[in-house]
């Protein structure tokens, strides 16, 4: 895609929806998304990083907050969507410069303001973007670092939302060269809406006790009682 084509897509989105929503995935860091076009209306853009929410929920969240801001809600307001509560927090410029390149390109500026959308109950992959970006961060280091693990760069794990909320992985299996299942409880017990697909680099950044899984043979599995327990081979 050329730059002109990219800018035309943004202009079309802004014309149709008042802003364009950019979704970024495919790397080993968590997915993230950000607005382009709100600077002209509010003087800032919105960004959400991590959380692994669905595309539809992601779009609904941005739209809901946009409408509340238009209706007079202030930056320190609580924003409600379904049963969840979100708030906004100012983003350090170091994060903007790495994650929100489309905004700089569209407005042709060297400085922007942005606010992070944060749920009251964060998941472990969601950074504190009010602090400067740390390129040694175990979860977000893949923004800059080349993939150096002895598995395919597109490796990922099918896991559950409770792991992202802090529960340890207690059973796992490697199904393919680049695909694992890792659960905080018995896999069949999880409902579809509780399942998440997470890059392996993010998984290992959250819990380095899972490092052994990188060398696991295809078709082999491990289990343990708790995060502090030894791994056992599935028989």
DSSP 122-185: --TT---TTSPP-TT-TTTGGGTSPP-SSS-TT-EEEEEHHHHTTPPP-EEEEEETTEEEEESS
Minimal CA–CA distance to 45: which of 26, 15, 29, 65? 65
With respect to residue 44, please indicate whether it lies within any of the assigned structural domains.
yes
Overall number of domains in the chain: 2
Q: What is the mean pLDDT of the chain?
A: 92
Q: Residue 68: how many CB atoms within 10 A of its CB?
A: 17
Q: Are residues 126 and 25 in the same domain?
A: yes
Q: Are residues 159 and 124 in the same domain?
A: no
- Residue linked to tokens 């009010």: 130
177-204, pLDDT tens digit by residue? 999 999 999 999 999 989 999 999 999 9
Cα–Cα distance between 182 and 205 in angstroms, integer? 14
3-17, pLDDT tens digit by residue? 788 888 898 989 889
Domain that holds residue 211: 146-227
Q: Are residues 113 and 219 in the same domain?
A: no
Q: Of 71, 96, 131, at which residue does a domain stop? A: 131
Per-residue model confidence (pLDDT) at position 4: 82
31-47, pLDDT tens digit by residue? 999 999 999 999 999 99
Pairing type for strands 156-160 and 114-119 reads: unpaired
Q: Are residues 107 and 73 in the same domain?
A: yes
């Amino acid at each position: 895609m050329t730059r002109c084509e990219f800018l035309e897509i943004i202009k079309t989105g802004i014309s149709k929806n008042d802003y364009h929503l950019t979704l970024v995935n495919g790397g080993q860091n968590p997915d993230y998304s950000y607005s382009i076009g709100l600077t002209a209306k509010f003087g800032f853009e919105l960004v959400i990083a991590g959380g692994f929410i669905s595309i539809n929920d992601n779009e609904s969240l941005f739209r809901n907050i946009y409408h509340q801001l238009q209706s007079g809600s202030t930056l320190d307001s609580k924003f409600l969507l379904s049963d969840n509560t979100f708030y906004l927090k100012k983003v350090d410029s170091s994060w903007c410069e790495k994650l929100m390149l489309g905004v700089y390109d569209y407005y042709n500026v060297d400085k922007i303001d942005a606010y992070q959308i944060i749920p009251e109950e964060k998941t472990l992959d969601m950074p504190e973007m009010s602090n400067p970006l740390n390129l040694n961060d175990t979860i977000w280091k893949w923004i800059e670092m080349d993939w150096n693990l002895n598995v395919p760069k597109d490796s990922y794990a099918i896991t559950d939302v409770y792991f992202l909320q802090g529960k340890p992985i207690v059973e796992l299996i490697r199904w393919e060269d680049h695909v694992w299942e890792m659960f905080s409880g018995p896999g069949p017990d999880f409902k579809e809406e509780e399942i998440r697909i997470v890059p392996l680099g993010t998984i290992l950044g959250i819990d380095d006790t899972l490092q052994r899984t990188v060398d696991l043979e295809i078709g082999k599995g491990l289990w343990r009682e708790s995060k502090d327990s030894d791994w056992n081979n599935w028989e």
